[in-house]
A and B are shown apart, each in its own frame.
Chain A
Amino acid sequence: MSKPAMQLVNLKKTIGNKPIIKGLDFEIRAGEVFGFLGPNGAGKTTTIRMMVGLIDITEGDVLIEGKSIKTDFKGAIQHVGAIVENPEMYPFLSGWKNLKQYARMVEGVTDERIKEVVSLVGLEKAIHEKAGRYSLGMRQRLGIAQALLHGPSILILDEPTNGLDPSGIREIRKYIRNLAEKENVAVIVSSHLLTEIELMCDRIGVIKNGELIAIEEVRTVENEEALKEVYIEVEPMETAKTYLDTHLPNAVGVGSKELSMSVKREEIPQILKNLMEQGISIYGVRVLQATLEDKFFDLIGENSIE
């Protein structure tokens, strides 16, 4: 078990009398991609703003590499690279000059390092154009470059694939995975795009109304014993139904072209074999995966902003 790169300790934020974040307790380990998932207004951005010291922490603390963002801001924040909300840049400066601005604010970022980061995010061609002319995708890349300049051990990306085209998304995803696996960077990705999170993250924390309602591994081992929804396209349908009813009482539904049933994974081959022996033609079989999306909606229910 690797040591936590970032720890949230009973983190709370109250604005006026209204509790916005109601006590978050979790940690992000080095080398993992942590998905921070929640509907709009759940408190994702507020939490991220507290992580990087943009807003005051009402109660609790954020520890970055063991250092408190409250009491040792410089010690803590030097390990962090971040995009908070949109990747905003100085529109009247070129991409390069934007990066130079941030390079001057920390020690030891050379021009070579800037070039390296620029090629990492694939922005070499446009780097000397004014950032005001960049597309959202290019700004997103520049934002990531800005966050990576000083080689942080924690990278916080708020909606990083926003505005990227599919190939761009795949590149960024690959790149994020690479950072985590090869450079042991802890990456925190917030998103409401569930499929994105699913593809990119090792663990997910789900936040709703300022509370963490679930935290779990994405690649959980498939449960062999669980019943799965299986759809089989057969012909003739009636024969198949009659036959299956005798074997799987009350478990078979009839669709327009498919029969559906809830069975264990291990039962599937036997069922297919039996059907074929009965002279029934099978055109297709699909097993419905419970996707993250289903889990997500199960967890948060209706998207309601209090």
Chain B
Amino acid sequence: MSNFMKLIWNEQIKLYAKKATWVMFAVLLVIAIGGGLITKFFGTESDFKEYGDNWQTELQEENAQLTAEMQDEEFGGFMNDMIIAENSYHLENNIKPQPYDGWEYVLENSFLTSVISLFTIIVAAGIISNEFKWGTIKLLLIRPISRTKILFSKYVSVLIFALTMLVFLLLSSWLVGALLFGLNGLNPMVVQDMMPGYAHNDVLGEIAKSYGFSIVTLVMMATFAFMISAIFRSSGMAIGLAIFLMMAGNAIVAFLSQYEWSKFILFANTNLAQYTNGMEPMIPGMSMTFSIIVLLVYFAIFLGAAWAAFTKRDVAGN
């Protein structure tokens, strides 16, 4: 086992010896800081408003004012509608509104996991094909270590990279959020627009859910890129295909959704959030269990194909 850990250690050294990897982290950090600054200086005023003891009265006054505004102006009613609806939810459920804080910023930044997916795809696509490009694969495979072990040390390294980026995103978002907006306690409750309706949830649970669900797409696409890289030994092809499918996945499903079998398409199943909060699944007849099974089957196929290509094929040419 220590043998396997050393292989992973080797992979991590190679990964972080490259400038491109650090650029990825820098990009993520810049987005986290930039997003924070934009929210701070161009965000909706009402989000940051601090309410006093008689917040109920304040909210009622606000709603009245917004309703009046909407009668004067023809446009811009949508924002006002939303604020009014949210205010009403607070009033009905007797929840005092809290100003926007660092936790909410972390929660909002969960969309950046798609950026992490992108970077992870790039890393997964290169981790095998680069060895072929550099010619070092020959030196790697003439050690007393099975090809299977080398392949999985690379795969695990990709997952570790993704996890590192995820932790980095959480930490940097939290720090930026805490510095710019402060924190409303250790695990404040937040009111969320569930479309339709609102809900009152604790923020840590929501963060875990939102990041957790996004990991599914991340892992599936990284595994896909890894497989392509192992089969075709070309990172360009792996990156291109994986990113294209990640972007076009939902469109493909929508296009084919009229067919019964479309529920077996990978992208119809990657968004497990579709089964929570009483939402309708993409295609009728699907369930959480169904999707998880489909995902596991795809996962096994991807890794199996990568394994077969990597362990069975001749290393010649170049």
Contact = CB atoms under 8 A, between A and B. Distances in A.
A100 to B, nearest CB: 8
A82 B142 contact: yes
Contacts of B14: 90, 93, 101
A77 interface: yes
B140 to A, nearest CB: 8
Contacts of A105: 6-7, 10, 140, 143-145
Interface in A53-106: 53-56, 73-75, 77-78, 80, 82, 84-86, 88-93, 97, 101-102, 104-106
Contact of A74 (B17, B145, B315): B145
A96 to B, nearest CB: 12
Main secondary structure of the interface of A (DSSP, over half): loop
Contacts of B296: none
A54 B316 contact: yes
A254 to B, nearest CB: 54
A43 to B, nearest CB: 12
B9 interface: yes
B314 interface: yes
Given A74-B145, A97-B17, A146 B9 contact: no
A73 B142 CA distance: 9
B17 A53 contact: no
B139 interface: yes
Contacts of A82: 142
B142 A146 contact: no
Contacts, number: 73
B138 A88 contact: yes
B141 A53 contact: yes
A92 B142 contact: no
A47 to B, nearest CB: 12
Nearest to B11: A101
B134 interface: yes
Interface in B122-176: 134-136, 138-146
A49 B17 contact: no
Given A77-B143, A92-B18, A84 B9 contact: no
A111 to B, nearest CB: 15
13 contacts: A54-B138, A74-B146, A90-B134, A90-B136, A91-B134, A92-B18, A101-B10, A102-B139, A104-B6, A105-B7, A105-B144, A106-B143, A106-B144
